[in-house]
Amino acid sequence: MLLFDKDISRLKILTEKKKMKINKKIFVRRNHSFEMTGNVLNAFLNYSDIEAYIEYSSYDDSLTCNDLIEADLHILWLDLNRYNENLLNKFIAEKVEELRNKISSPILLAYIGSEIEEKYFTTKDLTIVNINQVINSLGNKAFDTSKEDLSGTRLSNKACLYIAQYLGLKIIPSILKPALKAIVLDLDNTLYKGIIAEDGIKNVCPYNNLQKKLKDLKNKGFLLCLCSKNEESDVKKLFTLRDDFILNWNDFTSIKANWNKKSDNIIEIAKELNISTDSILFIDDNIAEVENVKAFINDIHTIITTEEEKTLRILDLYPCLMKKNVSNEDLIRSKDIQLNKQRKEISKTLSKSEYFKKLEIKIELTLNDKNNINRISELLNKTNQFILSYKRYNLTETEKLLNFSNTCIVTAKMSDKLSDSGIIAILIAKKNNTDLYVDELTFSCRALGRNIEDIVITKMLQISINYLKTSNKILINYKKGPRNIPALSWLSSYTGEVLQDKGIIIKQLTKDLETYGLDIKEVTYVK
């Protein structure tokens, strides 16, 4: 994996670069040159299927932002040594906020020189990267002041390559694309050195730095799963006996220890977790296994492990494994999915109302929930399967929606006696003359299969109708996407209509709603 190497050369990286069509635009405001980084950035972004057109401002220490440039990402590229340190935090924070008031796309502040204090920066949808830390390992080689007059930056060629690698692999894809959801791991020679069936459980040597990194990712809401060609009893024994392992049996949301094809196991895991295979990262030391999995699941992400240190480096730089905010839902996701097996068992023998009662399912519907705006925006951007129109509003745009008098956002939280699932559904509705226009609807796949979709969504629509004072005629906007079949199947069955590639379905909402005794509470926030 050349792009992830520590020792990278500009020539090699550009020689191997794929040819791709431009699909994103990045605008760089700067007070020193970005070109040496920018000219190689796309080679790294290509790994995440991004090819960006990069436009530059002139060099400007005052950071004026009178020009309104449309872009998918705005980068503030600053050498902070050019500012008075006493006023630094206040000045930069004000400038970032000024920019935020003019544009709605994400902002990335990447700086070298004097350090800023992040507590001063409260701007929404802002990612701050301290480039000093990225180039720290280069020592003196990070700078080349002899060429500063010619290059427009004191950064060396090597430093620019390191920065392009860091921004292009780890940071920018995590801002522009949905996060991965699950990491499926092999065991032998991947999580430890050795083979349990040959070396014995007691003699394998754990890769504990790697295990620690994976545990950290789990704590940020990524689901860990095992897919190993071993006897399940041996694997269970391994995690019971080896108390020096950082990862333990309960850290894994799904465990497949058998002799089936790994691709079959991974497809089964994706079904269990209700996620698409392109949100899975599969890690294995065996090239043949990885190639075999890729042959059957071509959109899966993969890492072939060699030495622990190299794997750690790849994992650290791997796209879409970075989360700025860890939400309550991130913390409960793994347990919630593990409990779905129990829920399925209970649902087999009971009627709808008995099932709701037995599981003590509680729904809380909230109108215009300002307090959970981060989570709402996150769900709008990461939901792939139950999403109707792929509006993908970013954080700033979502906040703006709350300020429009003819728009409302209704969210649904769900809990039952087994766990609290947090926010599971979002409806964005607008008043269209006298009718209700459904702009976007998402439903968490974790919450599907409990027979609550129709009730919860109908109730959300009723709340929107009451709030926006519309008729009961609803116009539902939808668009066929790469993976939203579950959403479209639901819409078709809910409205009884045959769907095209995209369109608007008209439905008259009936006033009566059979809730089968489902416990539903309503909360309203004043705009």
| 8 Å CB contact between 276 and 384 | yes
Closest to another protein by CB, 6 vs 370, is: 6
Rg, C-alpha atoms of the chain: 25
For another protein (CB under 8 A), the number of binding residues is: 18
Closest to another protein by CB, 5 vs 35, is: 35
Candidates 3, 26, 28, 36; binder of another protein (CB under 8 A) is: 36
d(CA 197, CA 206): 15
Tell me how far, at minimum, the Cβ of 133 lies from another protein, in Å. Answer: 23
Please enumerate, as own/partner, the contacts of 389-394 that have beta carbons within 8 Å and a separation of 24 or more: 389/439, 389/440, 389/441, 389/477, 389/478, 389/479, 390/479, 390/481, 390/484, 391/428, 391/439, 391/440, 393/428, 393/440, 394/104, 394/105, 394/106, 394/125
d(CA 467, CA 476): 17
Tell me how far, at minimum, the Cβ of 114 lies from another protein, in Å. Answer: 25
Does position 5 interact with another protein (CB under 8 A)? The reply is no
Closest to another protein by CB, 68 vs 150, is: 150
Tell me how far, at minimum, the Cβ of 158 lies from another protein, in Å. Answer: 8
Burial state string for 205-238 with b = 16 or more CB within 10 A and e = fewer than 16? ebbbebbebbbebbebbbbbbbbbbbeeeebeeb
Closest to another protein by CB, 51 vs 420, is: 51
Tell me how far, at minimum, the Cβ of 449 lies from another protein, in Å. Answer: 52
Closest to another protein by CB, 153 vs 383, is: 153
Closest to another protein by CB, 17 vs 357, is: 17
User: Tokens standing for 338?
Assistant: 């593990």
Closest to another protein by CB, 154 vs 459, is: 154
Residue found under tokens 């030391």: 285
Closest to another protein by CB, 14 vs 326, is: 14
d(CA 82, CA 272): 53
Query: Rounded to the nearest 5°, which phi and psi values hold at 9?
Result: -120, 145
d(CA 499, CA 31): 51
Closest to another protein by CB, 54 vs 425, is: 54
Candidates 4, 28, 31, 33; binder of another protein (CB under 8 A) is: 33
Residues 170-189 that bind another protein (CB under 8 A): none
Give 464: exposed, middle or buried? Use CB within 10 Å, 0-12, 13-18, 19+: buried
Candidates 121, 128, 152, 234; binder of another protein (CB under 8 A) is: 152
Does position 9 interact with another protein (CB under 8 A)? The reply is yes
Tell me how far, at minimum, the Cβ of 316 lies from another protein, in Å. Answer: 24
d(CA 58, CA 55): 10
Question: Which range, of 33-41, 456-464, 470-478, 517-525, touches another protein by CB under 8 A?
Answer: 33-41
Give 18: exposed, middle or buried? Use CB within 10 Å, 0-12, 13-18, 19+: exposed
Does position 406 interact with another protein (CB under 8 A)? The reply is no
**406: alpha, beta or left? (left if phi > 0; alpha if psi -120 to 50):** alpha
Does position 39 interact with another protein (CB under 8 A)? The reply is yes
Does position 151 interact with another protein (CB under 8 A)? The reply is yes
Does position 500 interact with another protein (CB under 8 A)? The reply is no
Residues 13-32 that bind another protein (CB under 8 A): 14-15
Residue 458 CB contacts under 8 Å (≥ 6 apart), including other chains = 509, 513
Closest to another protein by CB, 74 vs 158, is: 158
Interface mask (CB under 8 A) for another protein, residues 88-127, using x and -? ----------------------------------------
Tell me how far, at minimum, the Cβ of 143 lies from another protein, in Å. Answer: 13
| 8 Å CB contact between 255 and 232 | yes
Question: Which range, of 156-164, 269-277, 442-450, 452-460, touches another protein by CB under 8 A?
Answer: 156-164
Element (H, E) at 422: strand 420-432
Tell me how far, at minimum, the Cβ of 105 lies from another protein, in Å. Answer: 25
Closest to another protein by CB, 156 vs 407, is: 156
Question: Which range, of 7-15, 175-183, 276-284, 313-321, touches another protein by CB under 8 A?
Answer: 7-15
d(CA 290, CA 281): 11
Tell me how far, at minimum, the Cβ of 165 lies from another protein, in Å. Answer: 15
Question: Which range, of 145-153, 370-378, 395-403, 439-447, touches another protein by CB under 8 A?
Answer: 145-153
**Angle between the N-to-C axes of helices 328-349 and 262-273, in degrees from 0 to 180, rounded to the nearest 10:** 90
Give 408: exposed, middle or buried? Use CB within 10 Å, 0-12, 13-18, 19+: buried
Does position 68 interact with another protein (CB under 8 A)? The reply is no
DSSP β-ladder status, 420-432 and 407-415: antiparallel
Closest to another protein by CB, 135 vs 429, is: 135
| 8 Å CB contact between 302 and 284 | yes
**In angstroms, how far is CA 148 from the centroid of its own chain?**
38
Question: Which range, of 142-150, 171-179, 350-358, 441-449, touches another protein by CB under 8 A?
Answer: 142-150
Question: Which range, of 151-159, 164-172, 376-384, 504-512, touches another protein by CB under 8 A?
Answer: 151-159
Residue 200 CB contacts under 8 Å (≥ 6 apart), including other chains = none
Contacts with another protein, residue ranges (CB under 8 A): 9-11, 14-15, 33, 35-36, 39, 144, 146-147, 150-152, 156-158
